[in-house]
């Protein structure tokens, strides 16, 4: 096995290769092998969703959020996209010696507020302190469990003609973190979209019984997540460049920095695959909620079995968009 690089943590192709060739091989079981955002478990006569995530974002405070709220919302969202109501969360903190106590207090307060907002309780935790230089200020791990209220979300359910919906503009989180880290401004301050998706998703799943699958496009962005969905469904996906919502300052930042908005991480957006006839209704449900403002139908599932993602460009061309390869922006979440 090769030496680990930042690319192995990008959320893109290299990370998938690492997971498939090492972790999945070593730990293989039918639940893990589904590679969902949460494991869906049968415990007694209940279906429980269980997930974990670690947060190493740099800087720890950025416009629209901080490492604390991000760690709560990220885990809530991974439960929500599996049709589960997030209930309980654990918090593990690895703190660097020398961290200012007031900084830690601010992060902890933010986590408490975020948990309240998302209706989850932090019920267990762990604290470790390492020598100066052994980590960067603070790293946080959160795990969460939730009760599954909507069953059957699966890439197996995806069928040709299904609509591909995104719940709002993409890339705000990545550009917010990047501009704060590098000290660049893009005309206006871009705020992260970091937010809990639990209520929005609950509304969507109540408004339609024909939602096939959902995933939040975090690391690797829209392009990588759509590739994961296409692979799972063994179906092609075609999206329209003109319909992908990107805020003007995000687009401007991308042009300036040579980034592609399709690969930028979101922390408060969800991609929904649903039957075409329910697309307009889902769009209406999303648009009626502040968290879903700017939602768009961006494409559809094609009939071919290529498992490729195609982009119909504004210029009238057609190109394949692949998973993120290499590392675009390390420590984005
Ligand atoms: Mg996720």
Q: What is the CATH number of the domain that holds 166?
A: 3.90.650.10
- Are 263 and 162 members of one domain? yes
* The last residue of a domain, from among 148, 178, 213: 148
What number of CA atoms fall less than 13 Å from residue 204's CA on the CB side? 36
- Are 110 and 141 members of one domain? yes
Q: What's the gap in Å between 82 CA and the centre of ligand 1?
A: 9
pLDDT tens, position by position, 158-207? 999 999 999 999 999 999 999 999 988 777 899 999 999 999 999 999 99
Distances (CA, A) of 251 to 73, 120, 259, 311, 323: 25, 35, 9, 17, 20
Tell whether pTM > 0.95: yes
- Are 103 and 189 members of one domain? no
Q: What's the gap in Å between 215 CA and the centre of ligand 1?
A: 6
Q: Are 14 and 7 in contact (CB under 8 A)?
A: yes
230 domain-assigned: yes
* The last residue of a domain, from among 121, 148, 175: 148
- Which of 241, 251, 245, 244 minimizes the C-alpha distance to 190? 251
If one counts the domains in the chain, the total is: 2
- Which of 117, 199, 145, 168 minimizes the C-alpha distance to 272? 168
Q: What's the gap in Å between 49 CA and the centre of ligand 1?
A: 13
Cα Dmax for the chain: 57
DSSP at 224: H
Q: Are 241 and 312 in contact (CB under 8 A)?
A: yes
Q: What's the gap in Å between 79 CA and the centre of ligand 1?
A: 8
Q: What is the CATH number of the domain that holds 134?
A: 3.30.1330.10
DSSP at 242: G
29 domain-assigned: no
Q: Are 79 and 166 in contact (CB under 8 A)?
A: no
The residue segments making up the domain with residue 253 are 155-320
Question: What is d(CA 236, CA 61) in angstroms, rounded to the nearest whole number?
Answer: 39
Q: Are 59 and 87 in contact (CB under 8 A)?
A: no
Question: What is d(CA 35, CA 19) in angstroms, rounded to the nearest whole number?
Answer: 10
Q: What's the gap in Å between 38 CA and the centre of ligand 1?
A: 8
Q: What's the gap in Å between 77 CA and the centre of ligand 1?
A: 7
* The last residue of a domain, from among 91, 123, 148: 148
Q: pLDDT per position in the chain (333 positions), as tens?
A: 889 999 999 888 999 999 999 999 999 999 999 999 999 999 999 999 999 999 999 999 999 999 999 999 999 999 999 999 999 999 999 999 999 999 999 999 999 999 999 999 999 999 999 999 999 999 999 999 999 999 999 999 999 999 999 999 999 999 999 999 998 877 789 999 999 999 999 999 999 999 999 999 999 999 999 999 999 999 999 999 999 999 999 999 999 999 999 999 999 999 999 999 999 999 999 999 999 999 999 999 998 999 999 999 999 999 999 999 877 789 999
- Are 143 and 184 members of one domain? no
Q: What's the gap in Å between 102 CA and the centre of ligand 1?
A: 30
Residues shown for the chain = 333
- Are 86 and 129 members of one domain? yes
- Are 161 and 304 members of one domain? yes
């Amino acid at each position: 096995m090769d030496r680990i690089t930042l690319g192995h943590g990008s959320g893109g192709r290299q990370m998938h290769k690492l997971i498939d060739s090492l972790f999945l091989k070593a730990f293989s079981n039918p639940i893990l092998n589904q590679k969902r955002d949460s494991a869906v478990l049968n415990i007694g006569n209940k279906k429980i969703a269980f997930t974990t995530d670690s947060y190493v974002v740099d800087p720890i405070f950025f416009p629209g959020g901080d490492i604390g709220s991000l760690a709560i919302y990220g885990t809530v969202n991974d439960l929500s996209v599996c049709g589960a109501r997030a209930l309980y969360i654990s918090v593990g903190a690895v703190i660097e010696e020398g961290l200012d106590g007031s900084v830690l207090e601010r992060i902890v307060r933010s986590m408490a507020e975020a948990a309240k907002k998302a209706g989850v309780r932090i019920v267990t935790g762990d604290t470790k302190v390492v020598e100066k230089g052994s980590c960067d200020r603070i790293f946080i791990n959160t795990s969460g469990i939730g009760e599954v209220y909507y069953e059957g979300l699966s890439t197996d359910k995806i069928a040709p003609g299904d609509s591909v919906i995104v719940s709002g503009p993409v890339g705000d989180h990545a550009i917010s973190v990047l501009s704060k880290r590098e000290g660049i401004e893009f005309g206006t301050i871009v705020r992260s979209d970091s937010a809990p998706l639990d209520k929005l998703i609950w509304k969507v799943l109540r408004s339609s019984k024909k939602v096939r699958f959902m995933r939040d496009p975090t690391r690797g962005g829209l392009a990588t997540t759509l590739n994961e969905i296409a692979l799972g469904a063994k179906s092609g996906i075609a999206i329209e460049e003109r319909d992908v919502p990107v805020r003007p300052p995000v687009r401007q930042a991308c042009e300036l920095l040579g980034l592609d908005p399709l690969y930028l991480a979101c922390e408060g957006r969800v991609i929904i695959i649903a039957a075409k006839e329910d697309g307009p209704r889902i769009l209406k449900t999303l648009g009626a909620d502040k968290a879903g403002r700017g939602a768009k139908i961006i494409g559809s599932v094609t009939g071919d079995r290529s498992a490729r993602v195609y982009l119909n460009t504004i210029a009238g061309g057609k190109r394949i968009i692949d998973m993120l390869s290499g590392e675009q922006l390390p420590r984005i979440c």
